[in-house]
Amino acid sequence: MSTLSKSSSFLRGALVLSMALVCGAAMNAQTTDEANTTTPVKLDAAVPMYSSSADQSVTSSANTNLAMNVKPFDFLNAMQYGSGSRSGAPRYRGGNSNPDGSNKWVYEVGVGLTAPVQDTSTYLKPSYSFGAGFGRQWSKHIAALLQFDWDNLGFQNSTLANQLSLYNTIIGYCNASHSCGTTTTIPTLSSVGGTSHVWSFTIDPTFTIKSGEGVGAYVVAGTGFYHKTANFTTPASGVYCDPYYGYCYSYTANSTIDKYTSNAVGVNGGLGVTYKFSRFSNERFFAEVRYVYIANSQKTGLTTSTVTASNYTATNDYPANSNKTYYFPIKFGLRF
C-alpha cells in the first residue's frame, strides 16, 4: 500500500509538469499568432519563392536596403517632372506648359493713353486707348501675340475751326448756285465737333529680357492692318413723340455731317515692364509704350484756301485723314 501511494504521487507530479509544458507551448503559439496578425507580412507577387532560408535572408536584407533608399517625394517629383536626367533643369509635364514651366498660351488686356506726335499732332490731340491680345509662348523669353487695339484721338481746336470755315464756305456756294440739289437755303453751321480713332489688328513678337518673380522687362515689335477714321459732328435739334403715351419733347444731339476713312499697313515697336504679384501666380501687371507708324496714302482734297466755285462739290473735305500717322500708345494692364 505504501508503494502504491508513492507511485500515485509520482504520477500526479508528472501529470502536473506535462500540463504546464502544454500550456506554455499554447501561450507561445498564441503570442506568435497575435504578432503576425498585428504586423502582417505582405508578399510581392513579383518576388519568387525561395526554398532555402539562406536565400530568404539575403532577399529580406536587400528589400530592407531598397526600402531605406526610397525617397518619400519621388512620387510627387515624378508627377511634376518628365523623364530624363535629374541632374539638369526640370522638365514640366502637362499640355499647357513648356519644358521651362512657362505657359504655352498668353493673354493680355490693357487701357491707357494715345499721344499723337510729329505731323499728326498738328491736327489731332491725345485721347484714350485700350487693347487685348492672345498668342503662343514658346518659352519664358519668346512669344508672339495677335492683338486688337483701339486708339482714340481728338481734334485740335484749329482743326475744328478750319472745318467749320470750310463747311460754311461750301454751304455758301451751294446756296448761291443751288448745285447742292435743293432749292432750299441751307443754314450755316454754328459749331463743329468730332473725334478720330485708329483700330488695328497686328502680330506682335515679344522677347522678355528678364523673367521670374518681381520686376521684369520686354521688347515688342509688330506689323498689321490699321483703319483710321475721322468723324465730324454738329449739334442738331429734333422732336421725339412717344407712340404709346402721346407726349413729345425736343432734344439736341450731335449729328454726323461728314466722315472719312483710310486703310493702310503699319508697324509698331516699344518697351515694357512687368511685375509678378507672387511666385504662385501667373498674372503679371504690365506697363508699356510703343511707337506706331501708319503708311497712309495721301489724297487730295479741299481746304478753306483752295475751295472755289468750280470745285466746292468735291467729295474729300478733310484730306488730313489720309496723312501718314504717328503716335505713341501708352497702356497699363494685366497679362495671364
Give the Å distances, CA to CA, from 263 to 78, 123, 125, 301.
54, 19, 20, 17
What CA–CA distance (Å, rounded) separates 312 from 171?
9
The percentage of the chain sitting over the pLDDT mark of 90, rounded to a whole number, equals 49
More confident residue, 1 or 147: 147
Indicate whether 28 pLDDT > 90.
no
Summarize the confidence of residues 88-96 as an average pLDDT: 57
Among 2-16, 89-103, 208-222, the range scoring the smallest mean pLDDT is 2-16
Among 130-134, 206-210, 258-262, 329-333, the range scoring the smallest mean pLDDT is 206-210
Nearest CA to 327 out of 296, 286, 298, 287 is that of 296
Summarize the confidence of residues 86-98 as an average pLDDT: 59
CB 122 within 8 A of CB 333: no
User: Which CATH number does the domain 105-335 belong to among 1.10.730.10, 3.20.20.10, 1.10.3720.10, 2.40.160.20?
Assistant: 2.40.160.20
Q: Kindly report, residue by residue over 227-286, the tens digit of the pLDDT.
A: 999 999 999 888 888 887 778 888 788 899 999 999 999 999 999 999 988 777 778 899
**Cell matching residue 332:** 497699363
Summarize the confidence of residues 101-120 as an average pLDDT: 93
For the chain, domain boundaries: 2-69, 105-335
Q: Is the pTM for the entire model greater than 0.85? A: no
**Average confidence score pLDDT of the chain:** 80
Residue 256 carries which side chain, given as an amino acid letter? T
Summarize the confidence of residues 147-168 as an average pLDDT: 97
What CA–CA distance (Å, rounded) separates 111 from 128?
8
Indicate whether 111 pLDDT > 80.
yes
SS3 content of the chain, % helix, strand, coil (to 5): 25, 40, 30
What CA–CA distance (Å, rounded) separates 14 from 8?
10
CB 122 within 8 A of CB 137: no
